[in-house]
Amino acid sequence: MEYSIVFESILLIGFMIFIGLILAYITPLNDNTKQTYTNIIVNVAMPCIILTSIFKVDINHNILQNIILVFALSLLINLLGIGLGWILATIFYPDKTFQREIALLSGLGNTGFIGIPLCATLLGPEGALYAAIFDAGVDLVIWTVGVMILKKSTSFSLSSLKTMINIPTIAIVLGLIFAFINYRPPEIFVSLTSQLAALASPLAMFYIGLLIMSISKTQFYSVKSKIVIPTVIKLVGLPFVVFILIVLLNLDGMISKALLIQAMMPVLTLASILFTKYDADDKFGAITTVISTVISLISIPLILFLFTKFNYF
């Protein structure tokens, strides 16, 4: 992989976040703005990225096996991240302050808003497909293990299952069905999904820029020491854990690249929304998302550069 492509992609993300900062002065982030951005990104742009990735890839028996493998590894990687976060939070915060939040933020990354578009840019349609499958694994962990942790319950309810049935998940299922039966939609539909998919990355970065401007200094200083654990695990620890897994399992090149990129993603953008829903600290979630995203603009290219130099990427 050309390192210049990686650097250019991350630089573009940085510029788009900066545009979001400018937009924040024009239209400050409020509940309505937040809802509009997340609805367009999650319910329009992300499903279109998934569908256009599937339409551009020839799904054969080998690809199908890879999809199953990526989904299983996604579950494992996310659970490892949550486990690491929980252990460190227990050690450093024995009073249980923010333990639930730290654990989830350590394992759940922004694999949808940033990961899928970045994989599409760097790896092409097949890489984007694996990235989408990885993100489906993140969704499953969020609405099962994540909900159980936030609710302090080990039970799994029907309502938790319903939350997993969302438009991106439906897009993955429908796209794979189309691929398995070798059905290609009319060209106008393929063109439409391709153009709408291009909305995902800019809108997600604008949203993060808006989110940055919505956080006060007082809110930041109140939780700044607790940001360290999830940020370090998510941006540094988890990528190297995934690298070890890749080496041990001797994975296919495209799969290994998609897994590494997804493991490097900053903290889940929707963390604050998830925490609000289950009475956790939503400001802590938002601040950790913002800080880890800004740091990831440096950490992602550095780690990719390191792996590239040693011929592991």
DSSP 230-272: HHHIIIIIHHHHHHHHHHHHT--HHHHHHHHHHHT--B-TTHH
User: Looking at the domain assignment, is residue 5 inside a domain?
Assistant: no
Judge whether residue 154 has pLDDT over 90.
no
Instruction: Quote the radius of gyration of the chain (alpha carbons, Å).
Output: 19
Residue 295: count of CB within 10 angstroms of its CB: 17
Burial code of 204-223, b = ≥16 C-beta within 10 A, e = fewer? bbbbbbbbbbbbeeeeeeeb
Return phi, psi of residue 146, to 5°. Answer: -60, -45
Closest CA to 230 of 199, 265, 258: 265
Cα separation of 296 and 35, whole Å? 25
Q: Per residue in 111-128, pLDDT tens? A: 887 888 888 888 888 888
Q: Per residue in 57-114, pLDDT tens? A: 777 778 888 988 999 999 999 999 999 999 999 998 876 778 888 999 999 998 887 8
User: Looking at the domain assignment, is residue 4 inside a domain?
Assistant: no
Residue found under tokens 């990885």? 134
Q: What domain range includes position 118?
A: 39-200+226-288
For the CA atoms of 55, 67, 137, 210, what is the dihedral angle to 10 degrees?
A: -40
User: Looking at the domain assignment, is residue 259 inside a domain?
Assistant: yes
Neighbouring-strand partners of residue 267? 109
Judge whether residue 130 has pLDDT over 70.
yes
User: Looking at the domain assignment, is residue 108 inside a domain?
Assistant: yes
Spatial contact of 140 and 111, defined as CB atoms under 8 Å apart: no
User: Looking at the domain assignment, is residue 237 inside a domain?
Assistant: yes
- Give the contacts of 35 (CB within 8 A, at least 6 positions apart): none
Q: Per residue in 237-250, pLDDT tens? A: 999 999 999 989 98
Share of the chain above pLDDT 70, in %: 91
Cα 222 off chain centre by? 26
Cα separation of 307 and 313, whole Å? 5
Cα separation of 213 and 95, whole Å? 31
Neighbouring-strand partners of residue 109? 267
pLDDT tier, 162 (very low <50, low <70, confident <90, very high otherwise): low
DSSP-based three-state secondary structure for 144:
helix
Number of domains in the chain: 1
